[in-house]
Amino acid sequence: MREIKRIASLVGVDYTLLADNSEYLDSPNTGEYNMYPGGTPLEAAADSINAEATIAFQAYSTVKTREYIEKDWKQPTSVVRPVGIRGTDEFLIKLSALTGKPIPKELEDERGRAVDALTDSQAWLHGKRVGLYGDPDLVIGLTQFLLEIGAEPVHIVVSNSNEVFETELRALLDSSPFGAGATIWGGKDLWHLRSLLFTEPVDLLIGNSYGKYLWRDTKTPLVRIGYPIFDRHHLHRYSTYGYQGTINLLNWIVNTILDELDRNTIIPAKTDISYDLIR
């Protein structure tokens, strides 16, 4: 959420974030105890009824909330998922359309750096087969990002799936040739995914900490993205939203691939005269 606030401030948006958890999930150690630092003031939350519009970052956990806002608050609502280039573009375009404010050059430059980073790494990502799991909106955002970088989602497991979600995800997969081989496994769990990883292996697995048991069993490299991440330190401090979040996602994914490549290169001299120092 800290990245969302930074982006909105750069655009010059007068906004209320419901709810702002950026401080109490990542607060500074000042030597003084404060149980609930930061957050959204109750007065600001109450005043959000007077907003021009509401933007939700999740669709499938906010269905009733958005219905209430539209009916009782008389506000238009929309859903954006600012993950990857396309998702962040849609978020900024929506902010600009609602406020009439232009997208600042600083964010345009951030976009350019993210695109440059994707270009640098694309050769290592193109055609990589990926399994992923998580909540519906996270999975849609990550799937869109994987399609942007030329990776191929293969197994997509969403335990709390529904027909509307699967229709949206299938349309996204069908929009790219990289999504042609994907299968959506709604209502399934990680035990089911374990079987899939044995019978139809992939190059990479993306999801939260619970995937470490699949990594142990199937030897499929795991990229920890999502919630919860209990078994690694500080990943929650890095944004997955916005153009800077795009670079973070790219960093975790491509370097996991390179780590695995080095781990499996028994005799580097057979691969390259430079011993694979430069990739």
Per-residue pLDDT of the chain (279 residues; tens, 9 = 90+): 899 999 999 999 999 999 898 887 788 888 998 888 889 999 999 999 999 999 999 999 999 999 999 999 999 999 999 999 999 999 999 999 999 999 999 999 999 999 999 999 999 999 999 999 999 999 999 999 999 999 999 999 999 999 999 999 999 999 999 999 999 999 999 999 999 999 999 999 999 999 999 999 999 999 999 999 999 999 989 999 999 999 999 999 999 999 998 887 655 545 555 556 667
Q: Enumerate the domain spans of the chain.
A: 2-105, 111-265
Identical topology for domains 2-105 and 111-265 = yes
3-state helix, strand, coil in the chain (%, to 5): 50, 10, 40
Correct CATH for 2-105 of 3.20.20.210, 3.30.70.20, 3.40.50.300, 3.40.50.1980: 3.40.50.1980
Q: Give, rounded to a whole angstrom, the gap between the first and last alpha carbons of the chain.
A: 33
User: By CB neighbour count within 10 A (0-12 exposed, 13-18 middle, 19+ buried), where does 13 fall?
Assistant: middle
Q: What is the CATH number of domain 111-265?
A: 3.40.50.1980
Whose tokens are 């990943």? That residue is: 235
Angle at 180 between CA 63 and CA 125, to 5 degrees: 95
